[in-house]
Structure 1
Amino acid sequence: MMKFLQVAVIGVFSLCALTGYSAAQTFSDAFAGFGSNDKEPIQIEAEELEVEDKTNSATFKGDVVVTQGETQLKTQKLRVFYDGSASGTTQQKISRLEAAGRVYISAKDQTATGDEASFDMKREVMVMTGDEVVLSQGPNVVVGNRLTVNLKTGKADLQAQKSGRVKVLIQPNSLDNN
């Protein structure tokens, strides 16, 4: 059953890509920017920032907005883990991001919402969880409780652990080329 759900989610967004929909961008591409894209700077805005050198982390709180290229993340709390010291002269590399408090991620016409999300930059994996994890591309929507995206391969796995069922809504003619 899980294999079918995985194939269904990948199929919906791969179909969008194969038909040229949204400049042939797959949904997982929306997540690939954060930390792994060395060409685009990461801009973070928040009401508060705490830097913790002992744990190599920084915590942003209050209406946090992260932007890298065309990808944007919004949340209430974001903890950024990095390799190296924040006060050192070498550039830090982000190793992990943890977002909590109604997470919203968008890139072009693609969005994902959930309660929490984590990005493991070393493993190149993003996991989003919540009562409802909602993915949308244009008018098409997929709903579950746990989304795992391999940022390197583009493989996406959406599960509905609470209800046992993933919901998919595809609007007629939404995949047609314009």
Structure 2
Amino acid sequence: MINRIRILSLSCLLALGLAGTAHAQTFSDSFAGFGSDSDEPIEIEATNLQVRDEDKSAIFSGNVVVIQGDAKLETERLIVFYEGSMANGTADGEPVQQSISRLEAKGNVLISSRDQVATGDDASFDMNEQLVVMTGERVVLSQGPNVIVGNRLVINLETGRANLDSSAPGSNTGRVRMLLQPNSLENEN
């Protein structure tokens, strides 16, 4: 039986996600939503959780699913690096505040929300630098019928700039591929 682990107090857990606006979203919008709305709880489910307070990390493993609002992250293993302590609380009974510095999703990473999906083998999220890096034999981004494929995606969450290349070792083609359907990215007013 899968242990269900719910963490609702880590409102700054992820800086990736897929929440967007009413108009057409870009692929870089796909990583902007998790953790950006402190009113939305974050739910994490996994088979196992191992907290390593001495390493300032928490390791979720086994069919990891993270949900916040419309955004969802699925992976085989999620390592959360934090500042602070995961202990039960301070001497006065108040909960200890943690600050997430980095996340590493390993194995069959899928991020989805509404009509946007990003998949790859691994992803890292640097909260301090506001950078997301997704890698894999095939990194696939899709929004509705539009698809772009490469090997390494780097997104600057602060500027919204995204770079996708296909020069990673093991790349079959060495080229980025894109399928864009006419009129599919028009504003939906």
Q: TM-score range by the shorter chain?
A: 0.7 to 0.9
Q: Which residue of 2 aligns with 1:174?
A: 184
- Give 1:94 deviation, angstroms: 1.4
- Give 1:68 deviation, angstroms: 1.8
Q: Deviations along 1:104-157, whole A, 9 cap, x unmatched? A: 001211110000001111111110000000000000000000000111111000
Pick the aligned partner of 2:166 from 141, 160, 171: 160
CA distance in 2, matches of 1:56, 1:34: 21
Equivalent residues of 1:44, 1:65 under 8 A apart: yes
- Give 1:63 deviation, angstroms: 0.6
Q: Which residue of 2 aligns with 1:44?
A: 44
* AA partner of residue 95 (structure 1): S
Equivalent residues of 1:36, 1:121 under 8 A apart: no
- Give 1:174 deviation, angstroms: 2.3
TM-score, normalising length from structure 2?
A: 0.77
Q: Is 2:125 the counterpart of 1:119?
A: yes
| Secondary structure, aligned partner of 2:149 | strand
Q: Is 2:29 the counterpart of 1:29?
A: yes
Q: 1:24 to 1:171 in 2, by over 3 A?
A: closer
| Secondary structure, aligned partner of 2:34 | coil
* AA partner of residue 100 (structure 2): I
CA distance in 2, matches of 1:156, 1:74: 21
Q: Which residue of 1 aligns with 2:72?
A: 72
Equivalent residues of 2:41, 2:68 under 8 A apart: yes
Q: Deviations along 1:17-71, whole A, 9 cap, x unmatched? A: 9xx9x63333222212234543432211001100000111100011100112221
Equivalent residues of 1:33, 1:69 under 8 A apart: no
Identity of aligned residues (%): 60
Pick the aligned partner of 2:102 from 87, 96, 100: 96
> Root-mean-square deviation (CA), in Å?
1.9
Higher relative helix content: 1
CA distance in 2, matches of 1:28, 1:38: 21
TM-score, normalising length from structure 1?
A: 0.82
CA distance in 2, matches of 1:28, 1:55: 31
| Secondary structure, aligned partner of 2:97 | coil
Q: Is 2:150 the counterpart of 1:140?
A: no
CA distance in 1, matches of 2:154, 2:187: 28
CA distance in 2, matches of 1:74, 1:145: 19
Unaligned runs of 5+ in 2: 1-19, 90-94
- Number of paired residues? 159
Equivalent residues of 2:24, 2:187 under 8 A apart: no
CA distance in 2, matches of 1:136, 1:166: 14
Equivalent residues of 2:65, 2:74 under 8 A apart: yes
